[in-house]
Amino acid sequence: MYTTSEVQELFKTRPMNLLCKKHIVQPKTAGTFLVDLLCVPLKDIRQDGYGRYKHQGCSTIKGTDIKRVYHHFELPDGNRLTRVIMHNNSPSPDTAIMNYACLKAEVLPTTRSHGNIKHGNAGFVTTLSSVKACIDSNSKSMKAKQALGETQKLFPITEAPSAAAVPRNIRQAKYSRTKALQQLPPYLKESIPRNEFHQLILDMKRGTEQCIRSINQTPDSSMVVIGSDDQINLLRKCCVRDKAVLNIDPTFNLGPFEVTSLTFKNTLLRKNHNTDGNSSPIILGPAMIHT
């Protein structure tokens, strides 16, 4: 493949000894062709006899007016043929460069039935290494269900050449998630998230949730105090400086936990339609989630 400066020089000089003036049809080997668009129209050079390519997008080389168009085609032997067409981004370009490269497909390993299969006699198909690497990468920062969903977006079943090219099921994602948690540092292994409360502990240690103010846990109870910095500062101004009343509003049996919220009057605001001393609106402050 030519460099950007070499491509610009080829388009500028158009060396006659390198120009291809015939229609290129099914090139047998990977290579680069300099095509004379005065002899072969741009719309015709894409019809190279391989069938319908899949369009992968286009781009412009930075600092130039050279446009690149990317395609790929699945060959019968399982390999992938990639094609890049470059030409000047003008109404009537006179030269184009076509680059062909053949990428070897991943091997789809299969094994014979082990005799314990419940339904049918189909062999077991292992997942491609690229798919497993994607699941492992997502499992480091996501739960199993979310990691599986993100992987399925990158490897959709509608475009899969075989069952090995898609994630298998949720069990595969859970196993990957378990391996990822086992690789955590020692101070995080003690807080492996198994429910919502443990997830809060893990987020607080990692610093990903800034609204968690404190976590208290005893053998009989657990409590998490949540609140933003703005809520804490406003609570200090209204209840300490302006002597506003702090109300405690407990809510029982909210799922597996109970929630106690703090409310107070925002003395920095006044209602226009009310002129008495109790015209400040009541707002929600920090809250406690406890068992």
Query: 208-222: buried (b, 16+ CB within 10 Å) or exposed (e) per residue?
Result: eeeebbebeeeeeeb
- pLDDT classification of 26: cutoffs 50, 70, 90: confident
Q: For 175-239, what is the HEC assignment?
A: HHHHHHHHCCCHHHHCCCCCCHHHHHHHHHHHCCCCCEEEEEECCCCEEEEECCHHHHHHHHHHH
Tell me how far CA of residue 184 lies from CA of 143, 180, 188, 191, in angstroms.
14, 7, 6, 10
User: pLDDT (tens digit, 9 = 90+) per residue, 176-209?
Assistant: 888 888 777 665 555 544 556 666 666 666 665 5
Say if residue 188 is exposed, middle or buried (CB neighbours under 10 Å; 0-12, 13-18, 19+).
middle
- Give the pLDDT of residue 90: 82
Please give the pLDDT value at position 130.
Answer: 81
> For the chain, how far is it from start to end, CA to CA, in angstroms?
65
H/E stretch holding 136: helix 129-139
Average pLDDT over residues 169-174: 88
Eight-state DSSP code of residue 240: I
Measured from the Cβ of residue 60, the count of other Cβ atoms closer than 10 Å reads: 11
Q: State pLDDT tens for residues 249-266.
A: 887 666 777 888 888 888
Torsion (CA) 204, 208, 213, 217 in degrees, nearest 10: -20
pTM, full prediction: 0.37
Residue type, 154: L
Rounded to whole angstroms, how far apart are CA atoms 57 and 69?
A: 6
Note whether 230 and 283 are within 8 A (CB): no
Question: What is the per-residue DSSP string for 249-286?
Answer: EEEEEETTEEEEEEEEE-TT---TT--STT-SPEEEEE
Q: Hunting for tokens 């990977």 — which residue is that?
A: 30
Q: Using the predicted structure, report yes or no on whether residue 93 has a pLDDT greater than 80.
A: yes
Report the alpha-carbon distance of residue 236 to residue 232 in Å, rounded.
6
The mean pLDDT of 48-68, rounded to a whole number, is: 82
Give me the CATH code for the 4-103 domain, please: 2.170.150
Domain ranges across the chain: 4-103, 122-183, 196-290
Question: What does the alpha-carbon distance between residue 78 and residue 104 come to, in Å, rounded to a whole number?
Answer: 8
Supply the pLDDT for residue 59: 83
